[in-house]
Structure 1
Amino acid sequence: MPESGIAHALVTPPRSLTAAVKRLLRPLVKLLLHYSVQYPAFTNLLKQTYVEVATAMPVDGKPQTDSRVSLLTGIHRLDVKRLRNEIVSGNEGPPMSVSLGAHIVARWTAHAEYLDNKGRPLPLHRLASAGGMLSFESLVRSVSKDIRPRVVLDEWLRLGIAQIDNLDRVILLTDAFIPSHGLDEKLFYLGKNVHDHLDACAHNLTQPDVPPLLERSVYYDHLSKDSTLILSTYARQLSSQVMQAFSQKAMELQERDHPNADARHRVTYGLYFYQANEQEESATKS
């Protein structure tokens, strides 16, 4: 007898799907074990996520019932009811330092007045009294008047995003908001970036009648360690140029679209570089 009293269909997924899911779960499980997250805690999280996703799936424009969610997920109806009552929206937003910081860095790297003749972010005088409109203080206030620039700068210094030189200028250490320190900020971007990449893949696999989303990578093996280091440096150089160009275009369009009531869509454009020892990878899979 099925646990919810509903005859759940036993569906055998394609072997290629289970192989792909097992492979993408390996780095996730590795991360969870690093932070001492054991299997029972993960299964509880997975169960809650199944209920959240199934609840959000449309059924002829009508709200999902507990019984329908139970049928879709195979989770007992009483558990579905309990978990749906526990779902709290709005608890996955970015830390404030991420939300504000990303906007400030985007403006700094996308607006021509903040760039040198090679397109690199200029050092900015810390105070408006020294740098006027081309100061860190003015840059922060152009994005938000609710947070004091000194508070932002102190946080950036803590996260390793910026430093102050001997001329009291703020130097941006990265061309994107990627903290060197700060666990909460790093974990937020883990969830955001991997979610969007995986969702793009899922879209391409489940929506055959619409144009596929961009999802590309280049793959080479049988390289020496030295060659991977050369390619890592080259990838950073190329990605910096591409990401800055994309950011400038996106910033231009966002400022144009801001008064538009339909300006409720978001995009993510990402690049990544990965290197590993094939023998060590094979050992973990055996």
Structure 2
Amino acid sequence: MTTRVRANGIEIAYETFGSPGDRPLLLIMGLGAQMIHWDEEFCELLAERGHHVVRFDNRDAGESTHLDDAGTPSSGGGSPYRLGDMVDDTAGLLDALGWESAHVVGASIGGMIAQEMAIGHPRRVRSLTSIMSTPGHAVAPPTEAAMAVLMAPPPPDREAAIRQALSTWETLGSPGYPMDRERIARIAGLGYDRGHDPAGTARQLAAIMASGDRTALLGEVTVPVLVLHGEADQLIPVAGGIATADAIPGAELVTFPGMGHDLPRPLWPDFADAIGELTASAER
């Protein structure tokens, strides 16, 4: 069941899985993506490994607040907010949940937010898992094919949004794993219904571009860190994961052949096991 709370001056929609007595685990999704992109089955796998899981919609996505008055960022123009503001949203959500700290898992832009949170709010982060992310947007630039997907015009209606999602993941998905077209179409349709917002996605992208490189600051992170990355990622190539792990003392890097810029279902048990081992060791 979706719950909404006020945090950092906006409304954030979230859902929970597992027992409140288990290790708190916060999942942060990527660019323009919604909490439903953390599949319920994957969240249940994490819960089975001893976590109280929270997934949520970032600002400008899904059922959380959309900053419509900010408009669409123009090319070369400024950003109405930065990643640091999204970090403050996330910290505010922890406050609303009554969590002093949590194990934080972020994918893509979610990984960037999680990294900044470990830097700026170190006492709120028990462990950090950075998935298919990077310490800076210039570290691992997208391929030409991925950039074309990123810059594609927004779809005019729901059916077009589903077709575009299928086309997007044909390019950005994992070539080493079967493409689950039914799941992609279902989530694309649900996402369109929950909060389709191309301007909001553009504002999130502008926040990435307006935020600085984190490489030097990541050297100050002292919590246990796991970095997961696909070796076939075209949107944030594996160099981004390598750079993240290299920047953080003691970070563990695990790369996956054939994995692109998505979370292939056959790898969910591996991800859940690795995250569970990290959080359990951090608690000890």
TM-score past 0.5 threshold: no
Select the structure with the greater relative contact order (CA < 8 A; seq sep ≥ 6).
2
State the TM-score, normalizing by the size of structure 1: 0.21
Higher share in strand = 2
Larger Rg: 1
State the TM-score, normalizing by the size of structure 2: 0.21
Higher share in helix = 1
